[in-house]
Chain A
């Protein structure tokens, strides 16, 4: 076994000296940053890794809100559970930054459950799955009550509260594991495999069922804390035949021109707040509006909410009647700061001028000013992208494979932000539903036994980037991908020619660069797999965007600016054909997949 990691022998002092002084390729190489193409001198020996195997009924992948509830509820339903997480429990993905959680209370809302579901559906222009909308609202209060018991609302940090129910139940949790493969055998799920980031063990888990709680993802954008989310779950599942949906929708969060990469500062200290509970407040938060105005008028944008600007422009994204105040006056109880599907950051200048954002005083001077787009590039609307559910139990088309939260394309909220705080609540609710369903499923099936040659193939694919003697560094390929996908004229303001142009680039990365990704250590090995996942996700986003020849909710085609109900009362599902090609198909809004 090797030492926990290969330290390149650089002290902080030396590091600072180098970084401050002699910049350039030599420095970057010494710091372990991937030089792009070139010789790969692996500092980690892939042929000398220990393997650890586990067996369990339910394997939960992901340690955020959905993963927590999936694990807890599967355990409580009598299943043996193992949790693998890329980061730390409650400290990775989007959960640490989600500060509002929705709890439906008919009496307090003065609104029945039916009325709530109808109101969400009206705002979502039919894109939501009302079964999941209802499920989220119905169970939200119970999940919030459990979270309260565990101390979730007592700290801005989730790890302690999340650890409480896990430790009480003795659920095994393996953190800092990069899962690279879902394993399918004889037409059903059989487990997963990955490697640990610190000590470089191979981890292989045989499981009767798997719950993907791997969150959404993006293109490691600057300005949104999702750089660890690269659609790993979606792409792993796609590769073993699962159907994926929702790739044409866009999260349109803006960032700030000054220090756009500083997520913490851009959110004005919101990360340091304790979470709280939100009530019914159905809206139609359309992130593309700002991007449309910026695209049409150029930057910088004049201060003020984008709806005011939109009135002066022809065309552009439209809203359903009654939801025409995108960033209106703050609702009682805090406005922007309590609001947002994952507690969205205030728009710079949203309330009447630079620096006027609530809580803005916590940001250093210069953090505000003109908004810029693409801060969450590559991410769709919460709960709209991910595995296609075949029923209301979060089950995918692969027997035994479940998904919950942002890894499940449940369309709980539709293809647009409709209810403040429902994203976090939905993850909790769906995690619980999926956990119980997976536990039930695993009672009826034997433990799968995967042939050794299949496992050897998985291991080979997993470690290939370490073994390549030359190739492309994942950081460079990611940068190239970002350069293609993040500009506002590709995914935000879409048109046929640009989508095709971008697709040509992405196909090049897929066919030529992805097979040549190399890694010098375990960190880079993780980056190599993340990069490969982002490339496939980019292809899905472009193909789905090309296919949907209309504009609806957060998908805006400047060449098809109108909503087309005759042809597009449908979601787009993507799967891998027998020939390995990406196949796209429609699924009508009111039906489960065939």
Chain B
């Protein structure tokens, strides 16, 4: 499902900045990055390439929300 996990995050925030589509946010409680808006991941891997500790795993399949008639 696109960006799939962040393991070993040091909380530098680089991935949050580097994501063009604003998928990742910092969790103020843990001080670490977490995947908040996975549906918007464009699988470009910039977050992974910028991460200093190589913490981010990404799969090639897309997470797509279910299609409904209006809601």
* Chain A contacts to B: CB under 8 angstroms: 3-5, 7-8, 10-12, 15-16, 19, 23-25, 28, 31-33, 35-38, 87-88, 91-93, 96-97, 156-157, 159, 175-176, 197-198, 220, 222, 225-228, 259, 261-265, 271-272, 364, 367, 472, 475-476, 479, 523, 526-527
Contacts and interface: CB of A to CB of B under 8 A. Distances in A.
B64 to A, nearest CB: 8
Interface string B39-71: 110111110011000000010111101111011
Contacts of A523: 22, 36-37, 40
A27 to B, nearest CB: 9
A475 B39 CA distance: 9
B71 A35 contact: yes
A472 to B, nearest CB: 8
Interface of B: 1-2, 5-6, 16-22, 25-29, 34-40, 42-46, 49-50, 58, 60-63, 65-68, 70-71
A63 to B, nearest CB: 11
A28 B71 contact: no
Contact of B65 (A28, A156, A259, A263): A28
Given A4-B28, A25-B68, A33-B39, A262 B50 contact: no
B34 A11 contact: yes
B49 A271 contact: yes
Nearest to B19: A87
Given A12-B5, A19-B1, A367-B60, A5 B25 contact: yes
A24 B27 CA distance: 25
10 contacts: A25-B71, A28-B65, A31-B38, A87-B19, A156-B49, A227-B21, A263-B43, A265-B60, A367-B60, A523-B22
* 4 nearest CB pairs, A to B: A262-B60, A261-B62, A228-B20, A259-B60
A364 B35 CA distance: 23
Contacts of A226: 42
A227 B42 contact: yes
Contacts of B1: 19
A197 B22 contact: yes
B39 to A, nearest CB: 5
